[in-house]
Structure 1
């Protein structure tokens, strides 16, 4: 009776598995990151709508270096939210462009929420933390790398 070794299991010689072996944690993290990107995109769309409607959801800021008109912030959030939602769907489908664009756009969303801190501080900190996890998850899973 012969058995075939599991390539993802660590060998008894202490040699790590081949680089092409898919890590369950990283693969699950990538799927979770894609879902978080889509949710973050939808929430950015709602932030944009709230800023465009000049609702009381957004705090008024007086002296701030990056102070834009709320309408400008609304359009920035709305457009970037739609793009992040689309790229999140691409990451979920496993498209070749999805991960690279996902990392780049999530980095842009982190910067956007850093600049948005005075307007919605609690949500901005949460969105930044989510963005850091998404970037980590998209960079760690190397299972679909062409290299």
Structure 2
């Protein structure tokens, strides 16, 4: 049983590092290319994504660093990881009209992170 718990926590840490990296890349994309065009059925929107880029960069960095903390078995890192992954999920949902593939990928990884950090049960 203990090996399974450690395995889920390790999976969560790895997913947090990967998910945080993806969020930081999406943030950098928004910062580097601040003017994006979104094409819908009726209109073309011109959006400035700089502030959302900074938001994703910061949230991604928190998730990324918390991923390393999970490997130490730190309960605070797990708690921060769940909260940061939840915030990352919400912000990725808002980001989806601009980068839909990245948004869906980040939401899926954050969901797996939250599940892996909360499903094991007893503390490591």
The structural deviation recorded for 1:144 is 1.7
Looking at secondary structure, tell me which structure has more strand per residue.
2
State how many pairs are aligned.
Answer: 119
Q: Which 4+ runs in 1 deviate beyond 6 A?
A: none
1:32-80 deviations in whole A, cap 9, x for unaligned? Answer: 111110111122112111111117xx852378xxx97311011101111
Structure 2, unmatched stretches of 5+, are 41-45
Question: Which structure 2 residues correspond to residues 1-147 of structure 1 after superposition, within 5 A?
Answer: 8=1, 22=2, 24-54=3-33, 60-61=37-38, 69-144=48-123
User: Is the contact made by 2:36 and 2:48 (CA closer than 8 Å) also made in structure 1?
Assistant: no
Change (3 A) 1:98 1:61: same
User: Is the contact made by 1:44 and 1:78 (CA closer than 8 Å) also made in structure 2?
Assistant: yes
Higher Rg: 1
Looking at secondary structure, tell me which structure has more helix per residue.
2
User: Is the contact made by 1:59 and 1:118 (CA closer than 8 Å) also made in structure 2?
Assistant: no
TM-score, normalization by structure 1 = 0.71
User: Is the contact made by 2:37 and 2:47 (CA closer than 8 Å) also made in structure 1?
Assistant: no
TM-score, normalization by structure 2 = 0.83
Q: CA RMSD in A?
A: 2.3
